[in-house]
């Protein structure tokens, strides 16, 4: 996962999107969970809150976006912080890699397409 071009705000948005992505197929795979944990430990995290604590809060934020409208708004809000083409590509690649860790479900494919649109990469 390439994150060296990302600032802390973008890293936080990436964590939110990684967590959100894992919830799209409504199945929690051990492979995906392990891959997420490995990815998070590799982040150049500089926040006063640990990346693990941020991830836990991110699950709550993602669950709170329960309606289709709320999910679309959440995705749009988190994608808005990625301001450069390369940073957007890096974020997309990280999420694709995570979802591929346990085979990509149809709902995850749909999520990736919406993500590309929100990032302006489609």
36 domain residue, yes or no: yes
One DSSP character per residue, 24-49 reads: TTS---HHHHHHHHHHHHTS---SSS
Domain that holds residue 110: 8-119
Q: Is the pLDDT of residue 28 over 90?
A: no
103 pLDDT exceeds 80?
no
Asked, for residue 1, whether it belongs to a domain, the answer is: no
Tally of domains within the chain:
1
Residue 76 placed within a domain: yes
How far is CA 48 from each of CA 45, 51, 91, rounded to the nearest angstrom?
9, 9, 22
List, for residues 60-73, the tens digit of each pLDDT value.
Answer: 999 999 899 999 99
What is the per-residue pLDDT for 24? 85
Q: What is the mean pLDDT of residues 55-59?
A: 95
Q: What residues contact residue 46 under an 8 Å CB cut-off, 6+ apart?
A: 8
C-alpha R_g of the chain: 13
107 vs 105: CA distance, rounded Å: 5
């Amino acid at each position: 996962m390439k994150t060296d071009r990302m600032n802390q705000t973008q890293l936080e948005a990436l964590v939110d999107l990684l967590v959100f992505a894992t919830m799209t197929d409504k199945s929690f795979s051990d492979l995906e969970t392990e891959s997420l944990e490995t990815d998070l430990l590799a982040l150049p995290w500089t926040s006063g809150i640990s990346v693990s604590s941020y991830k836990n809060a991110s699950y709550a934020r993602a669950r709170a976006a329960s309606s289709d409208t709320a999910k679309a708004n959440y995705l749009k809000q988190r994608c808005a912080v990625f301001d450069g083409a390369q940073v957007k590509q890096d974020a997309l690649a990280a999420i694709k890699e995570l979802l591929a860790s346990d085979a990509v479900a149809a709902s995850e494919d749909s999520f990736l397409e919406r993500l590309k649109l929100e990032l302006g990469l489609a």
